[in-house]
Amino acid sequence: MDFNLKEIFDYFTAEGTFLTGEPYGSGHIHDTFRVETAEKDKDNYILQRLNNKIFKNIPELQNNIERVTVHLKNKLNNVPGSDIKRECLILIPSLEGKSWITDKSGNFWRMYIFISNHRSYNVVDSPDKAFEGGKAIGRFQAMLSDMPGAPLFETIPWFHNIEKRLEALNLKINENPVGRVESVRKELDMVFSRAEEMKTILRLGKEGKIPLRITHNDTKFNNILLDENDKALCVIDLDTVMSGYVHYDFGDAIRTVTNTSTEDEKDLSKVNMNINLFRAYSEGYLSEAGKTLNDVEKEYLAFAPKLITYTIGVRFITDFIDGDNYFKIHHEYHNIQRARAQLKLVMSMEEQYTDMQKIIRELT
Ligand code: ADP
Ligand code: GN1
Ligand code: MG
């Protein structure tokens, strides 16, 4: 689809003049563009057409992000030497004073300052980067732990709830809308053989052993920007910041940090969990968040990566069976290829689970 990005940019109170707008990044949900301004001394921007099929209440979603970014900005203001424009997402108000606009065709758009000189990785190749990622998420959770006000709006209900995700998968299997179920029987067997074990975190929550906290819920590594020296800079993609268990953030980060290949790798022999990267991320994370976690939360950190990798696998298969309505895809079999890679990663984690538990015990 072609959009008049200059016209949309001009609805916002940005400084600088629109020069160019180009698709940017590899997110699976929104349409993201980088806007360059004509003036060398003015900021550049990120303009996003929001996916309102997935996020059904954009005003509430944006209200969450306004609250979260203001809170983070206030915290950073008290840290000497912090670089607010790079360490925190900054929303640009519209001419009407809102944090989003709707265009003539009913599309929702928002704009952020472009975080300059950042580095973003889909695959992590060194323990130092993994450690920095862990610090970024640990710090993010710690900074939000005292955010005042009502609970955040639940932007996607039951987002990481594996019981609901499995119900949704079963519904689509029964419906079989595009006739793909037979082709994924092997993957479904693998999923259902692990279903009970995967309900562990929900059970601990119901038993009151682990608390709900404010979590990010989408901590894949390309949502953690590093600076030009590969040090933790900013956590982005705040659409799913809401109540959750810390395991969801820990698990999703480990899923992406420790994978020896890409999320959608076709050659499954290349997909494995790198235990050294697991250790490094865990060290970084616990150095920031360790003090706030209770014993049961800590004990189950090693389990979390299996759960979240499995959950994303379930979501990719469900979307494949459904005919690809949720995640952006780049070819016909993209979602099942992603699902297979995630399930392979679960198996690699299972093989190394004893070592993962040992590392967490050593670090806590
Ligand atoms: P999605 O939900 O589709 O993943 P994101 O909000 O994560 O959308 O944005 C997609 C990509 O755009 C990110 O992975 C990152 O590369 C880039 N991006 C988003 N916001 C910014 C920003 N403020 N500054 C620089 N890059 C950004
Ligand atoms: C989506 O938005 P993005 O691309 O960072 C998805 C995550 C998945 C991820 C898999 C709102 O993340 O839950 O883990 O794809 N976000 C949403 O790559 O569904
Ligand atoms: Mg993203």
What percent of the chain is modeled with pLDDT above 90?
99
Say what the pLDDT of residue 2 is.
85
d(CA 50, CA 256): 24
**Residue spans of beta strands (DSSP E) within 228-342:** 232-235, 242-244
Kindly list the distances between the CA atom of residue 165 and the CA atoms of 75, 171, 232, 240, 331, in Å, as whole numbers in the listed order: 35, 10, 32, 16, 24
Phi, psi for 119 (deg, rounded to 5): -120, 140
pLDDT, tens only, 215-269: 999 999 999 999 999 999 999 999 999 999 999 999 999 999 999 999 999 999 9
- Ligand 3 centroid to Cα of residue 175, in Å, is 30
237 lines ligand 1 (CB under 6 A): yes
Asked if pLDDT for residue 1 goes beyond 80, the answer is no
Q: Which of 326, 356, 331 lies closest to 55 in space, CA to CA?
A: 326
Residue 218 Cα to ligand 2 middle (Å): 6
Does any ligand 1 atom lie closer than 6 A to the CB of residue 222? yes
Domains of the chain, CATH where assigned: 5-113 (3.30.200.20), 127-363 (3.90.1200.10)
Which residues make up the environment of ion ligand 3, defined by Cβ < 5 Å?
Answer: 27, 223, 237
Q: What pLDDT, on a 0 to 100 scale, did the predictor assign at position 37?
A: 98
What confidence tier does 18 reach under pLDDT thresholds 50, 70, 90?
Answer: very high
Query: Across the chain, what does the average pLDDT equal?
Result: 97
Give this prediction's pTM: 0.97
**Residues 286-325 pLDDT 10s:** 999 999 999 999 999 999 999 999 999 999 999 999 999 9
Type and span of the H or E element at 226: strand 224-226
> Ligand 1 within 6 A of 114 CB?
yes
Instruction: Kindly tell me if the per-residue pLDDT of 60 is higher than 80.
Output: yes
Residue 27 CB less than 6 A away from ligand 2: yes
Q: Produce one character per residue of 26-58: b if its CB has 16 or more CB atoms within 10 Å, e if not.
A: ebebbbbbbbebeeeeebbbbbbbbbeebbeeb
